[in-house]
Structure 1
Amino acid sequence: MLELRSITAGYDRRAPVVRDVSLSLAPGESVGLLGPSGCGKSTLARVAALLHRPDAGRVVVDGETARGWRHRAPRELRTAFGVVFQQPRLSADPRLTLTALIAEPLRATGRGNEAAATVPDLAARVGLGPDLLGRRPHEVSDGQLQRACLARALVLRPRWLICDEMTAMLDASTTAALVHVVEEYRAEHDAGLLAVGHDRVLLERWCDRTTHWDDLVTPFAA
């Protein structure tokens, strides 16, 4: 179980973006978090993935409270999460080929020797042909780069997927293809999914349940 308990978070303690929000996600469950741009849902997603330390509250993974964030989190927790962000060009090192981009988490965890066997199959799964793998981000489209970013998120076989507006910049066919890859992966590995977005139709078709941001937040006192 992934639990966010009474999370308050932001970038200035005097004006938190997220205030006293709780959300839970069971293994194998897909939860959609729906809300307008700028409401704080991306900040909450980063907290859920242990990428942003909250000002208050707890992240609990399988009954254990997370006590480290980003690179200070224990490796078994860091590798339990796969994250796909909205803007692939901001989350991809422009110097890396797509092969190296997908293999990045393997190298970071000392498993770089697995890349040759893992990356080609995973790239094919997300719809990237061999002719694209030697290219760098500026040589491919946004959709192709987001496919590589999804493959990177899956390469360590995470138990939890956080997709933060993953398809917001994509056309309908690429959106459908990437959602299909995520669902195949979830079915195989019983992974939980937190899908953040502002497209109600997509989230309600994709997820087991959808929660609106307004139903989570505690109103500020007047």
Structure 2
Amino acid sequence: MLIADAVTTGYHPDTPVLRDIGLRIAPGEIVGVTGDSGSGKTTLARTLAGLLTPSSGHVTVDGRSPRAARGDIAMVFQNPRAATNPHFTLAEIITEPAKIRRLPPPDLAALTAAVGLTPDLLDRRPHALSDGQLQRACVARALTQSPRYLILDEPTAMLDAATTATITHLITTRAPDTFGVVLITHDHALLEATCTRIATVAEGTVNT
């Protein structure tokens, strides 16, 4: 289970963004997170992923620290251009985590088809791709890691309705048997359609 226990976190110890929060995500569960812009949703995501260290409290991943369990958590960031190497081809972006972790090569054809990308895009670099195409590649990249927990920060913000439906179907069909999901989005219809339960970030707290 991915657990935030009495966590206070932010970017400076004197000005925490979130205070004394608690959240639990079990494998196979899809937990939605919503809240106003600037409320701390991305801070929560980065803390759960181990990219921010809480000033107090603990985050554990199946009983381990996020650092010790880093291979078990994958995150899709809101801005795909900031999250990808501009010198890599699309194929290299998708397969990068598998190479770093020395995992078996992923089935690129199946992955790209699953997220709605066509094979002719694999040799292109980010400058030759739309934001939506690049975000779909980031979702595929996350899936190559075979994570126990998948954290998605506004993953469909740059996608059209048809592609959003494709990605949503992919996540909801794989999650019950494969991983727990934290889905951060302003799209309340998407939350209602996909999530086991919904948490709201407001005034420095997380209400479940």
Give your verdict on TM over 0.5.
Answer: yes
- The answer to whether the 8 Å contact 2:27/2:176 transfers is no
> Aligned ranges for residues 157-172 of structure 1 at < 5 Å?
157-172=146-161
- The answer to whether the 8 Å contact 1:58/1:65 transfers is no
Amino acid at match of 1:197: T
Amino acid at match of 1:50: G
SS at match of 2:132: helix
In the other structure, the counterpart of 2:181 is 193
State the alpha-carbon separation in 2 of the partners of residues 34 and 40 from structure 1. 10
- RMSD over aligned Cα atoms: 1.7
Give the deviation of 1:188 after TM superposition: 4.0
The two structures have a TM-score, normalised by structure 1, of 0.87
Structure whose residues are more often helix by fraction = 1
Amino acid at match of 2:93: L
1:96 paired with 2:88, answer yes
Q: Which runs of 5 or more residues in structure 1 are unaligned?
A: none
In the other structure, the counterpart of 1:21 is 21
**Paired residue for 1:202, among 190, 193, 204?**
190
Give the deviation of 1:140 after TM superposition: 1.2
Q: Which runs of 5 or more residues in structure 2 are unaligned?
A: none
> Aligned ranges for residues 177-188 of structure 1 at < 5 Å?
177-188=166-177
Give the deviation of 1:139 after TM superposition: 0.7
In the other structure, the counterpart of 1:46 is 46
Amino acid at match of 1:15: T
Paired residues, number: 206
User: How many percent identity over aligned positions?
Assistant: 46
Q: Deviation per CA, 1:101-158, whole angstroms, max 9, x where unpaired?
A: 00110121133xx33x522321222121110101011111111111100000000211
In the other structure, the counterpart of 2:12 is 12
- The answer to whether the 8 Å contact 1:32/1:209 transfers is yes
> Aligned ranges for residues 39-78 of structure 1 at < 5 Å?
39-62=39-62, 64-66=63-65, 73-74=67-68, 77-78=69-70
Give the deviation of 1:19 after TM superposition: 1.1
- The answer to whether the 8 Å contact 1:22/1:216 transfers is no
State the alpha-carbon separation in 2 of the partners of residues 15 and 216 from structure 1. 11
Give the deviation of 1:179 after TM superposition: 1.0
State the alpha-carbon separation in 2 of the partners of residues 216 and 208 from structure 1. 23
The two structures have a TM-score, normalised by structure 2, of 0.92
